[in-house]
Amino acid sequence: MKRPFEAQGLTALLAVFVVALNLRPALASLGPVLESIRTDLHLSHGQAGLLTTLPVLCMGVFSPLAMRLNQRVGLWSAVLISTLLIGVATLLRGMGSFIALLVSAVGAGAGIAVLSPLLSMFVKQAYPQRSARVSSWTTSALCLGAGLAAAVSAPLTSVLAWPHSLASWSVLALIAVVLWWRMVPRSLVVIASSSAYDLPWQRPRAWLLMLIFGLHSVIFYVLLAWVAPAYIEFGKSPAEAGHLLGLFAIMQVVGTLLVSILPVQQRERRPAILFCSGCMLAGLAGLWIEPLFMPELMMCLLGAGTAGFFSLMLILPLDYSESPMAAGAWTAMMCGGGYVIAATGPVLAGWLRDHSTGYHSVFMLLMALSSFVFMCCLCLAPATEKPT
Q: What CATH number does the domain containing 209 carry?
A: 1.20.1250.20
**Is residue 255 situated within a structural domain?**
yes
Q: What is the pTM of this model?
A: 0.76
375 burial class (0-12, 13-18, 19+ CB within 10 angstroms)? Answer: exposed
Q: Where are the beta strands (DSSP E) in the chain?
A: none
**Is residue 384 situated within a structural domain?**
no
The pLDDT tens digits along the chain (388 residues) read: 444 444 455 778 888 899 999 998 988 888 778 878 888 888 877 777 778 778 888 888 888 888 888 888 888 889 999 999 999 999 999 998 899 999 999 999 999 989 988 888 888 777 777 777 787 788 888 878 877 887 788 788 878 888 999 999 999 999 999 999 988 877 655 554 444 567 788 888 889 999 999 999 899 888 877 787 888 888 888 778 877 877 887 788 788 878 777 765 666 788 889 999 999 999 999 988 888 888 899 999 999 999 889 888 888 887 777 777 787 788 888 988 888 888 887 778 877 877 777 788 888 889 999 999 999 998 887 765 544 4
**Is residue 386 situated within a structural domain?**
no
Q: Where are the alpha helices (DSSP H) in 234-343?
A: 238-260, 270-289, 295-320, 324-342
- Domains held by the chain: number: 1
**Is residue 382 situated within a structural domain?**
no
Which residues, in sequence order, are CB contacts of 11 under 8 Å at separation 6+? 183
**Is residue 20 situated within a structural domain?**
yes
**Is residue 359 situated within a structural domain?**
yes
**Is residue 388 situated within a structural domain?**
no
**Is residue 97 situated within a structural domain?**
yes
What SS3 state is found at 36? helix
Q: How far apart are CA 311 and CA 273, in angstroms?
A: 9
Q: How far apart are CA 199 and CA 383, in angstroms?
A: 18
Range of the domain at 235: 4-377
